[in-house]
Structure 1
Amino acid sequence: MAQDTAPQAPTAPGTPARALLPLILPALVVGVAAALLLIGVSTAAEELQHVLWQNLPDALGIGRYSVLWMFVMLIATGIAVGLVVWKVPGHAGPDPATLGLDAPTFPPVVVPGLLLATVLMLAGGPSLGPENPIIAVNVALAVWLGTRLVPRLRGAPWAALAESATIGALFGTPVAAALVISEALAGHLMRGRLWDNVFAPLAAGAAGALTTALVARPNFDLGLPRLDRTDGGDLLAAVVVATAAALLGMCAIYAFPYVHRAFQRLRHPMLMLPAGGVVLGGLAALGGHLTLFKGLEEVATLARSPDGWTAGQFATMAVVKLAAMLVAASCGFRGGRIFPSVFVGCALGLCAHALVPGVQPAVGVAAGVLGTLLAITRQGWVSLFTAAVLVASPTILTLLCIASLPAWLLVTGRPQMQLRFDGAPVR
């Protein structure tokens, strides 16, 4: 029998255990600290939201989610965040339209303003989540403190530890963190084996997730009717809904540079952000109060009653939420786009169920979230993971993997929802 004499590619050498062991303790510390900061910011925002949207309108005798109050609160939030961006040292960081999940390392002077702007935004109602600014803050603190307190540990990837810890805390599991880090490593020259490179970030993500689970007990399962068996109709529905969601997301992405440029013409945060608040107030009046805020609690409200709205109402909420996210990201509010995108995908999936009752709510929601996140984030693993977690059904994974293929072909190589400093879209 002839033997294959073709040369084999060299296998990357494994990292010795003695090089990985010193990273465990810093990873755990960063994981716990990052999760506690996220929980602290979220708790502060929730308390302030309760005051602004319940106590205050009740005391004034105004409807909590009346059109008048939504306009007042969103404009006031624009003014408050505008003051932070204008006057607070560090100006709450650079233009958020130029940032993604992998934020650059900011100097510590940026941290207080960015935290304050994030709390005000989360409480005030704009359609953005906490992920981008909290990752940026945790990265800045981890790099600054780590390099000073542990100078001997020169090889510690402080930024990767903080990013993994925050993502693990956000999703309540280290799996999401490992997927994001492995996807990031795939685009760079990697030294050693993959598992050696994700070892310390995985430890940080696990510590962050466990801390969140013990303190906040997050639950992303929407409680939709269980999906035990699938057939060809479910596969077709998943492909169609994911593709439609990706197309809708791409509409917002192509509009992003133009909307951003329109707000930039105002040239001052005290004009840009209040103007954004005016537009967001109009969108809230059109889409209703469920299209406010980051969207997680509102997604749970939709999922509890998948037949509670018409197809037109679901479609309106999806389009309004996407437009609100586009405006908030363009005018200068500090926030991320993952959680609002989940709402858009959920509303779109339930719209498909309302139009075609044969589309199971779990299939529609998971496919809608998958397609929207693929377009908005370009994070394939995170998109699959998030869509699957919301449904909590192992049988959905096969459908999602297949549905992701045509959706990915629509978005890959095209502009992203992130701009360069000159205003050109990142590809």
Structure 2
Amino acid sequence: MCAVLLGVPVSAAAFGYLALTAKLEPLLYHDLPRSLGFGATPSWWPLPLLAVGGLLTALFVRHLPGHGGHEPTDGFSARGTPGLAALPGVLLAALATLAFGAVLGPEAPLIALGGGLAAGSVRLLRPGLPERTYAVLGATGSFAAVSSLLGSPLLGAFLLMEAAGLGGPMLGPVLVPGLLASGVGALIFVGMGSWTGLGTYSLKLPHVPRADDPTAAEFGWALLIGLAAALLAAGIMWLARRLRHRVEGRRLPLTVLLGLVVAGLAVAYAQGSDKSATEVLYSGQDSMGPLLADAATYSTGTLLLLLACKALAYAASLSAFRGGPIFPSLFVGAAGGVLMSHLPGLPLVAGFATGMGAMAVAVLRLPLTSVLLATLLLGREGLTVMPLVIVAVVASYVATAVLARPPRPPHGHLP
């Protein structure tokens, strides 16, 4: 019963936050320039947009409680919940990131929103309960908040369980109320989406081409894609962490500067191709479906440019802005997979799915969730290519672990 009572308001709050973000994106990128007298959005428009977004993000991180929430260069995290006093800063920093076009996703602020509201409200109403009780309630709220974001309440619940390392004595107390809250949250998302006409804001790929049974050559490609994704993700995270250390000392000017870098990459992509700058901006959640459906319209040069600009914008956003790393990693992997499908022996759907899974696990370090993300999003065709995705995910996971291993001390040196 507690899971139901928590799931309903938390899911409604999460839906409202996603709806606000979704409304601000076209308002700022399309409606605002037209209201200022431009016939269409100017090619340079991302520059002032990201400068303002960077300024607001830096101010919220620097001056509001909570420091804007989870540091995205640390990877995905589902541990701990912010207090109620920190929630405004977390949500505002993420809103300035997501709405103005930085390359991060909404899952981190939603997890903070769900966990913070659930644990914080019960802490106010029933102080003095064991800390374990508040932790379970916070996890339940997080389950409800992300229930439909990934296209399936089960997938969202699985993501949180694997990320939090739930097992042993903690699995039972969290699993049952968490799954119930996730199911309630999905119903609330569907109901509010239908009632408001705004949709459910979940990641779905409506038009997936048919996939054939895997071949031996495709298994070889899956192995190579896994290794390539591990190297690309290592480069992205290395650059993001190097930039983060500089940002921490001069947050306001450098966040604005990195916002301009993200915008410049988007403008460069738009000028160098016949595509929209928004494919480089934002999390990539809304661009994945069109990328797959219109893959034939992307030349090899366009895909290379998209991959390079999106990866660099992702690294810059990770270093200074606030949000989650999941959706950009999926988009970068998908773009790389589409690019690889131009080579002989690798069909489009197989490349798309293996790229998503390999890049997701290289960033998230969650192998089971990465396999499910890359396959369930493709529906029935995802089940067909699941063996390829598993090979790519395992190869990427192992390669990432090797790349992250600290160097051995010299022979004879005692640590």
Normalising by the smaller structure, the TM-score range is 0.7 to 0.9
8 Å Cα contact 2:3-2:140 kept in structure 1: yes
Distance verdict in 2 for CA 1:222–1:234, change over 3 Å: farther
**Residues 9-28 of structure 1 aligned to structure 2 (within 5 Å):** 25-28=1-4
Distance verdict in 2 for CA 1:100–1:67, change over 3 Å: same
- 1:126 deviates by 0.5
Partner of residue 288, structure 2: 299
Gap regions ≥5 residues in structure 1: 1-24, 417-427
Partner of residue 286, structure 1: 268
1:168 to 142, 147, 167: 147
1:207 to 184, 197, 202: 184
Equivalents in 2 of 1:382, 1:142: separation in Å?
24
> Please, what is the CA RMSD of the aligned residues?
2.5
Deviations 1:156-207 (A, max 9, x none): 411221222233232232322342344256x466227x55651121112222
The amino acid across from 2:265 in the alignment is L
Equivalents in 1 of 2:144, 2:239: separation in Å?
33
Percent of residue pairs bearing the same amino acid type: 27
Partner of residue 108, structure 1: 84
Equivalents in 1 of 2:74, 2:353: separation in Å?
28
Structure possessing the higher radius of gyration over alpha carbons = 1
8 Å Cα contact 2:54-2:96 kept in structure 1: no
Partner of residue 409, structure 1: 398
Partner of residue 372, structure 1: 359
8 Å Cα contact 1:366-1:387 kept in structure 2: yes
8 Å Cα contact 2:329-2:360 kept in structure 1: yes
The amino acid across from 1:133 in the alignment is P
Equivalents in 2 of 1:413, 1:165: separation in Å?
35
Equivalents in 2 of 1:48, 1:323: separation in Å?
24
Partner of residue 143, structure 1: 119
Equivalents in 1 of 2:349, 2:62: separation in Å?
44
Q: Between Structure 1 and Structure 2, how many residues are aligned?
A: 386
Equivalents in 2 of 1:359, 1:335: separation in Å?
33
**Residues 228-247 of structure 1 aligned to structure 2 (within 5 Å):** 228-247=212-231
Distance verdict in 2 for CA 1:375–1:100, change over 3 Å: same
TM-score w.r.t. length of structure 1 = 0.83
8 Å Cα contact 1:370-1:404 kept in structure 2: yes
Deviations 1:330-349 (A, max 9, x none): 12x11111011111011111
Partner of residue 180, structure 1: 159
Between 226-235 and 74-83, report the one with greater CA deviation: 226-235
Distance verdict in 2 for CA 1:55–1:385, change over 3 Å: same
The amino acid across from 1:230 in the alignment is P
1:198 to 149, 163, 175: 175
8 Å Cα contact 2:329-2:359 kept in structure 1: yes
Matched, 1:346 2:342: no
Deviations 1:60-108 (A, max 9, x none): 3447554421111111111222233344454434655457322432221
Equivalents in 2 of 1:402, 1:96: separation in Å?
27
- 1:35 deviates by 2.4
The amino acid across from 1:350 in the alignment is V
- 1:122 deviates by 1.4
The amino acid across from 1:109 in the alignment is A
